[in-house]
Structure formats: C-alpha cells, structure tokens
A and B are shown apart, each in its own frame.
Chain A
Amino acid sequence: GGIITQTPKFLIGQEGQKLTLKCQQNFNHDTMYWYRQDSGKGLRLIYYSITENDLQKGDLSEGYDASREKKSSFSLTVTSAQKNEMAVFLCASSPGLGGGEQYFGPGTRLTVL
C-alpha cells in the first residue's frame, strides 16, 4: 500500500503572508489534487495536476498557486492569507483516468491571525 503525507499538520500565519503547504505520495499515482474543506461547505477543488508539471484550476483557485515539480509531490501556496481564515486543506491522489478512488492525506489545518 501507499501513503500520502502532508506538511505541516498545523499552519498558523499572519494576514497577508504567503504560506506553502506540501504533499507527497508514494502510490505512483499520476493525478494529484488540492481541496479546501470548510465546515458546512464540503470539499472544494482548488487545483489538480494530471502529470508532472501540469496544473489545472479548480473551482476555488483564486488566491492560490500550485506546483507539481515531480510526480510524487504537489505543493499549494496561499498567496496572501486572509485574516480570520480557518480551513483544512486536503491533498489527494488517484491513478487518473476514467474515474476511480481518490486517496486522501491527513490534512493541513490553517489558521490566520
């Protein structure tokens, strides 16, 4: 089996700060995803990537950048953290084509002071 790791587990930032979240997977999956989970709003897709160096915007990409420098890693940058923002960011991966199970990481909990 494989595993998805996300770092850091908790991230506290200041308003306006640029913050980076990292994700690694050893499933050898082609596709990776970043979701934001807010209480009462489910999961919303921020960015996804179907292969190394590919980036596709999701429904919530404004205010974020992403980078897929190699197949196993996918990072997300909050370009300017918003005061009182609190959410969990979930990374996932999947083999890619035709639907199929996505495997989720444990999440990074962001708090902006």
Chain B
Amino acid sequence: GEKVEQHQSTLSVREGDSAVINCTYTDTASSYFPWYKQEAGKSLHFVIDIRSNVDRKQSQRLTVLLDKKAKRFSLHITATQPEDSAIYFCAASIGNSAGNKLTFGIGTRVLVRP
C-alpha cells in the first residue's frame, strides 16, 4: 500500500523567514495530496491541498509544489508568524475513489522563534 514519508521531524525558523516541509510518496496512483495542521492541544485541521493535474497551488502565504516524477510534494510557508508554530502532516490518496482513504506522514513540528 501507499507509504508517505515526511523527512523532517522538527523545523525551527526565525519569524519572517520561510519554512519548507518535504514529503515523498510511493504509489504512482496517488493523485490527491492534502496538508493538515495540528496546533498544541488541538485536533487537526485542513490547510491546503493539491491534485495531480497541477504542479503548484498557492493560498495566501502557503504554497504546495508537486513533482510527480520524483513522487515528492512540499509545503512552503512564507513570512512565518508565531501562529504558524504547529505540527504539519502531509498525506496522500488515490482521491478518485469513494472514501478518500488518506495515508499520513508522521508530522513535522514547526517552531517559529522570535
């Protein structure tokens, strides 16, 4: 089955700098790649996603890049702010089947320091 690897367990950046979180996946059939954020003591919430028909998607300070050839996708956060501190999870699924069964990475803890 699908395996999603998230290569950094922690990432520390200075406020105002950019943060980049990288993930890889194994199943070439995967076509849907969401990102979720988990703030301290809270549950997950969706932040952005990308489908395999595009290689880039931006929403305000967040950009997702997808390299299907390398089976790699990444989340870029620009002009980081303290409220960006959280654990970020990448995930992948086939995306066109009922149920949207996601496989998650283990999470990257982002710390934005003053």
Contacts and interface: CB of A to CB of B under 8 A. Distances in A.
Interface size class of A (residues with CB under 8 A): 20 to 34
B99 A101 contact: no
A97 B98 contact: yes
Interface in B1-46: 1, 6, 9, 31-32, 34, 36, 42-46
B102 A45 contact: yes
Q: How large is the interface on B (under 10, 10 to 19, 20 to 34, 35 or more residues)?
A: 20 to 34
Contacts, number: 70
B46 A101 contact: yes
B46 A90 contact: no
Contact of B95 (A35, A90, A98, A101): A98
29 contacts: A31-B100, A42-B106, A44-B104, A45-B101, A45-B102, A48-B101, A50-B99, A56-B99, A59-B103, A90-B43, A92-B44, A96-B100, A97-B97, A97-B98, A98-B32, A98-B95, A98-B96, A99-B49, A99-B93, A99-B95, A102-B46, A102-B102, A103-B46, A104-B36, A104-B43, A104-B44, A105-B43, A106-B42, A106-B43
Interface of B: 1, 6, 9, 31-32, 34, 36, 42-46, 49, 51, 89, 93, 95-107
